[in-house]
Structure 1
Amino acid sequence: MSNLGFLATLRGYVAERKGERDEMQDAHVVLDECTADFQQLTPKVSRVAYYAVFDGHGGKRASEHSARRLHVHLAHKLPKDFSGTVNNFDKEMKRQILESFKVMDEEFLKEASTHKPVWKDGTTACCVLVLNDTLYITNLGDSKAILCRYQSETKQHVSVPLSKDHNPSNYEERMRIQKAGGNVREGRVLGILEVSRSIGDGQYKRCGVINVPDVKRCILNSNDRFILIACDGLWKVFDADQAIQFVLQVLQDNELQPPEGSNKTLENFRFETACNKLASEAVRKGSADNVTVLLVSIHKV
C-alpha cells in the first residue's frame, strides 16, 4: 500500500465507437470516487477509485455482467487487515482479486447454462483499482492499460505498460491450451477465439481458456499525466507510444478551448476531446472492431 503525502485527483473520461460491428459489445465502468463501497479499507485508505473496460465477443451479456458485478465482488473480498507488511497486503490483494474473477466467471457461466440455447458470450477485462495512490491493474485477455509518465531526465513523456496480453499464440498460453486438449490455429483457440483467457466462453473452458488474470501493482508519482485503458479495437491500429503522443498533442493544443458558456474546465474539456478524437481516429485508421477508450487524468494538488 502506498501512503504518500498527497493524493492525485483522478477523473475518468470514456468514448465508444461501434465501428463496423452490428452492435456495441464493449462495456466500461468509471468510478472516480467509490470509497464508501469499500468500507473495510478505511481509515487506512482515504480514496478508492475504479476504472474498467470489458471487450465482449459473441454478444454483450458477459461484458455487461462483468461491468455490473466485478467491483461488487472486489468490494466484498478485499482484505480488511492492514497490520502485516506491504508485501503481505499485496499478496492478499492479489489472492482476493483472483478469487473475485473466479467467482464472477462461475456466476456468469451458471446463468449462461440456464438459457436455451446456452449463452456463448465471453469478454476480456482490464481494470484499474486505485487505493490512495497505488494502482492494482488486473488484465484478462487482450485489452490493455498504459500509463503516461514524464521522464525528467529525457524531458519526454513515455508509455509505461500496466498490463500483459493473453494471446493464444504466446508460447506459454499455447502450451496450456494444448495440454488441456485444445489447439491453436491461425493464432486462435480452435481457430476461432482470439484470446486465451476470458470471462464466459463456456464452450472453450475445457480447451484451456481460463479466468485467471494477471495482476500488477504500480504507485503513482508526481510525473504521471494519465492512464489509458482500451480494448483491442484501439490497439489494432495504435501502439502504446502512438496513443500517448496522440493524446498529448490534443492536451497541448492551445487553440482548443471550452465553448463559451461551458461549465467545463480547460483540463476537462481537453481530456474529453482527446478521448473522443482517439476513438474516432482508431475507426478512421481502419479498426473495424468496437472501440472503447477510457482516459483517466491524473492531477496533483
Structure 2
Amino acid sequence: MGIYLSTPKTEKFSEDGENAKLRFGLSSMQGWRATMEDAHAALPDLDASTAFFGVYDGHGGKVVAKFCAKFLHAQVLKQEAYSAGDLGASIQRAFFRMDEMMKGQRGWRELSVLGDKINKFTGMIEGLIWSPKGSDSNDQQDDWAYEEGPHSDFTGPTSGSTACVAVIRNNQLIVANAGDSRCVISRKGQAYNLSRDHKPELEAERDRILKAGGFIHAGRVNGSLNLARAIGDMEFKQNKFLPAEKQIVTANPDLSVVDLCDDDDFIVLACDGIWDCMSSQQLVDFIHEHINIETSLSAVCERVLDRCLAPTTAGGEGCDNMTMILVQFKKPINSDAATSGQSAQTASETQTTSKEVKNEIAN
C-alpha cells in the first residue's frame, strides 16, 4: 500500500515535444504517496527515424525506475540487433541488460547516485575512488566492464520497476512491456490494449513462478510482490539453474507490433496509478473529449491526473504516483497504403523470444 501523506502533492512535471510525424505531451505527479517512484523517458528523435517513449513504475524505491529512464533507451541503440534492423530483439535485449548492468561495483555506484541524497554523496565519492571513467548513457560504446571494489559481489537491487515502452519507426509501432504499466492505442476512438498486465494469477505467469520454485499468496509472488514481471527485484532471480526468462520474476517483456494507419489517433502509456482509476476505453474517451480544447497534450495529461486523484486515502484507488505519456500521430500516417480496413496488430500474451510477435486486432 505504501505510506500516504496528510495532503497530496499535486505539483506536476509536464513536457511537450514533437517531430515531423508525431507530437507528445506528458505529465507526472507524486500524489498521496510519501515518495515519487515513477520515472519516464520521451525521445521523439532516438535516431533519425525512430522515436522512443517509456514509463517506469518503481516499487520498494525509486532507483530502478530512474535507472531504466536513464539507460534503457540507450541500450536499445547499442544492441547489435538494432543495427541489423531487428527492433524487437534489441528492445527485448535491453530489458534483460538492465538487470545485468545493475549488478557488481558499477551497478551499485550508479544506483547510489540515483538514490537518496545521503547515498548519492557516498556513491559519488566511491565512484571517484573506484572508477576513473564517467558514465555517459548516450555513448555508443558499451563500457560496463566488471569493476573491482567493495561492492563487486553486489547481486543487484531488491527494489524493482515495471517498464512499458513504445518505439515508433516509420509506420511501425513496437510495444514492450514487463509489469502492470500499460500502453493503449486509440483507433477511430476505440481503445485497444497493446500490453498485458503481468499479474501473478495469469496462467502463464503462475506456471513460471511455481516451476521456478516460487509461490503465490494473497495474489502476490512469495507473498510480497504483486507483479510477475519487472526489472530489478533480484531476490526473485537467484536460481542459477534457470535462464533469465524462467526466473520466479522475469524482466522478459511481451512484444506487440502494430502497423500504423490513418485510423490511429494516439497512443497512451501510463503507470497503474492511472489504470487503477480508469479503464482503457474510459481514458481514450476522456482524451478525445479534451484533446481539441486544451492548449497542449501535456495539459490533457494534467487533466487526467487531476481526474484520477482521490479526495482522500480511504479507498486506496487514486492514491498512487501517476505518470502518463500521450503520443498523437500527425496525419496522414501512411497515405500510400493505409485504408480504413487495414489490419493492425495488438497485444495478447506473446512468445518470450527475440522475434517480434504480431497479434491481430479486429477493426
Do these two structures clear the TM 0.5 threshold for a shared fold by scoring above it?
A: yes
Give me the whole-angstrom Cα distance separating, in 2, the residues matched to 1:105 and 1:215. Answer: 18
AA partner of residue 54 (structure 2): A
AA partner of residue 308 (structure 2): A
Q: Please, which runs of 5 or more residues in structure 2 have no aligned partner?
A: 1-18, 110-150, 239-246, 312-316, 333-363
Partner of 2:101: 107
- When residues 117 and 221 of structure 1 are mapped into structure 2, their CA distance, relative to the original with a 3 A threshold, is closer
Q: Is the 8 A contact 2:58 2:162 kept in 1?
A: yes
Query: Alignment identity in percent?
Result: 32
The within-5 A match list for 1:119-198 is: 119-150=157-188, 157-198=189-230
Partner of 1:262: none
Question: What TM-score do the two structures reach when normalised by structure 1?
Answer: 0.79
AA partner of residue 126 (structure 1): C
Residues 68-119 of structure 1: per-residue CA shift (max 9 Å, x gap):
11111110114334xxxxxxx6xx4333322221112111243249399974
Partner of 2:303: 277
Give me the whole-angstrom Cα distance separating, in 2, the residues matched to 1:131 and 1:68. Answer: 21
Question: What TM-score do the two structures reach when normalised by structure 2?
Answer: 0.66
Task: Specify the SS of the correspondent of 2:33.
Answer: coil
Partner of 2:233: 201
Partner of 2:341: none
Partner of 1:35: 47
> How many residues are treated as equivalent by the alignment?
256
Give me the whole-angstrom Cα distance separating, in 1, the residues matched to 2:22 and 2:37. Answer: 26
Q: Is the 8 A contact 2:103 2:155 kept in 1?
A: no
Q: Is the 8 A contact 1:54 1:124 kept in 2?
A: yes
Q: Is the 8 A contact 2:53 2:166 kept in 1?
A: yes
Give me the whole-angstrom Cα distance separating, in 1, the residues matched to 2:274 and 2:285. Answer: 14
- Within the alignment, does 1:64 sit opposite 2:66 as a pair? yes
Q: Is the 8 A contact 1:109 1:200 kept in 2?
A: no
Please state how far the C-alpha of 1:9 moved relative to its aligned partner: 1.9
- When residues 243 and 8 of structure 1 are mapped into structure 2, their CA distance, relative to the original with a 3 A threshold, is farther
AA partner of residue 199 (structure 2): N
Q: Is the 8 A contact 2:310 2:319 kept in 1?
A: no
**2:34 counterpart (16, 22, 25):** 22
| Cα RMSD (Å) | 2.2
Q: Is the 8 A contact 1:62 1:121 kept in 2?
A: yes
Please state how far the C-alpha of 1:171 moved relative to its aligned partner: 1.4
Please state how far the C-alpha of 1:34 moved relative to its aligned partner: 2.3
AA partner of residue 72 (structure 1): A
- When residues 58 and 137 of structure 1 are mapped into structure 2, their CA distance, relative to the original with a 3 A threshold, is same
Q: Is the 8 A contact 2:99 2:156 kept in 1?
A: no
Partner of 2:91: 97
Give me the whole-angstrom Cα distance separating, in 2, the residues matched to 1:210 and 1:251. Answer: 37
Give me the whole-angstrom Cα distance separating, in 2, the residues matched to 1:112 and 1:144. Answer: 29
Task: Specify the SS of the correspondent of 1:245.
Answer: helix
Give me the whole-angstrom Cα distance separating, in 1, the residues matched to 2:20 and 2:282. Answer: 25
AA partner of residue 229 (structure 2): R
Give me the whole-angstrom Cα distance separating, in 2, the residues matched to 1:142 and 1:34. Answer: 25
